[in-house]
């Protein structure tokens, strides 16, 4: 775990199409001061930009993706892949300028965002990084689906999915997550869907930017129709883990604990995060203190949550 907050070293821009609108959109990533957090600035088409903080308190709809909104009624949808890349790269502070209502889908993963951040470079800032440390198990259920946070020494994900479709079936991914693991095991896993569902979405004017270049598609014969097939034998659950990382990055600080889910999705992830942050006995805000060495690690010190945790609902 990094002891100090981090931002990017320079400006960088990515462009692409929104997966649902199919419309072109550009993102520009800029360094930000300590304690800024991640803040989107969306253009309104009239020459003005409006801030939208990347916090769970700003989450609106979660039907097909995670959407952020602000008091002016402006929204930014499909934020989960870029937020996963931000969390996976260990970035705390950044401004993101966007000229449309949807983050570009690019290749349907976090990889292009991660590559862009690494190209820009990283800057260690003077402020200590703060963490949300899980103190007790917290769980929610929705039908057969459930999610929970549990205490753990590190940041761990245990995500399980269960589809009747044989090509997916029941898959589980579990790992302690750091920058290296995210890049190697998660960042390249593509979003996925069924051809029959994509056709329905097209008819409804949605998924207009979806293609085999940015989505893993399962055909009517229950096989993957993308040339080249799967990147991982369990690519489906790895992408669900990517989504969870992006959704939980909306806590406003990295967590120390284990997140577990079964048959989860954006709605369940957001509900679990809200449930955790609404129970102040379930977590504490901590920061690193002391120097690291091979023989002795840094100590986690609790800090004043009302002062240092603006993300708490």
Distance CA 86, CA 88 (A): 5
**20: alpha, beta or left, given left = phi > 0 and alpha = psi -120 to 50?**
alpha
Q: Report the C-alpha gap between 282 and 271 in whole angstroms.
A: 15
Helices (H) and strands (E) in the chain, counts: 7, 19
Dist. CA 169–CA 302, nearest whole Å: 42
Token pair recorded at residue 178: 């750091």
Q: Output b/e per residue, 170-187; b: 16+ Cβ within 10 A.
A: ebebebebeeeebbebbb
- Catalytic, out of 20, 152, 266, 280: 266
3-class SS of residue 32: coil
User: Cα–Cα distance between 135 and 304 in angstroms, integer?
Assistant: 16
The DSSP result for 180-235, as a single string, is HHIIIIITTPPPEEEHHHHHHHHHTT--TT--TTT-EEE-TTSSB-STT--SSTTH
Q: Does residue 311 contact residue 55 with C-beta atoms inside 8 Å? A: yes
Whether 152 is a known active-site residue: answer no
Contacts of 30 (CB under 8 A, 6+ apart): 8, 11, 94, 95, 96, 97
Closest CA to 298 of 126, 128, 124: 128
Burial class (CB in 10 A: 0-12, 13-18, 19+), 280: middle
**Residue 11 near residue 120, CB atoms below 8 Å:** yes
280 is in an annotated binding site: no
Is 81 labeled as ligand-binding?
A: yes
> Would you say 243 is a known binding-site residue?
yes
Residues annotated within the binding site are 81, 239, 243
Residues annotated within the binding site for Zn(2+) are 81, 239, 243
Residue positions annotated with a catalytic role = 266
């Amino acid at each position: 775990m990094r002891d100090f907050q981090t931002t990017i070293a320079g400006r960088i821009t990515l462009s692409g199409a929104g997966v649902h609108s199919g419309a072109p959109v550009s993102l520009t990533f800029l360094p930000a001061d300590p304690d800024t957090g991640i803040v989107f600035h969306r253009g309104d088409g009239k020459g003005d930009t409006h801030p939208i903080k990347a916090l769970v308190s700003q989450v609106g709809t979660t039907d097909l993706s995670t959407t952020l909104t602000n008091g002016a009624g402006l929204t930014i949808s499909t934020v989960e892949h870029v937020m996963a890349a931000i969390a996976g790269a260990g970035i705390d502070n950044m401004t993101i300028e966007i000229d449309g209502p949807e983050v570009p889908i690019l290749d349907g993963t976090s990889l292009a965002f991660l590559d862009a951040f690494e190209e820009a470079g990283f800057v260690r800032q003077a402020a200590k990084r703060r963490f949300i440390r899980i103190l007790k198990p917290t769980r929610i259920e929705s039908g057969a689906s459930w999610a929970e946070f549990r205490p753990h020494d590190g940041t761990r994900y245990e995500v399980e999915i269960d589809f009747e479709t044989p090509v997916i079936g029941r898959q589980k991914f579990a790992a302690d997550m750091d920058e290296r693991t995210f890049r190697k095991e998660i960042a390249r896993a593509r979003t996925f869907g069924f051809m029959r569902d994509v056709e329905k979405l097209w008819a409804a004017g949605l998924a207009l930017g979806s293609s085999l270049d940015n989505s893993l598609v399962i055909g009517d014969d229950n096989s993957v129709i993308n040339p080249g097939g799967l990147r991982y034998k369990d690519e489906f659950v790895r992408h669900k883990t990517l989504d969870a990382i992006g959704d939980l990055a909306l806590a406003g600080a990295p967590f120390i604990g284990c997140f577990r889910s079964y048959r989860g999705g954006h709605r369940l992830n957001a509900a679990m995060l809200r449930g955790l942050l609404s129970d102040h006995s379930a977590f504490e805000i901590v920061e690193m203190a002391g120097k690291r060495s091979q023989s002795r690690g840094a100590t986690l010190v609790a800090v004043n949550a009302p002062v240092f945790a603006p993300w708490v609902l």
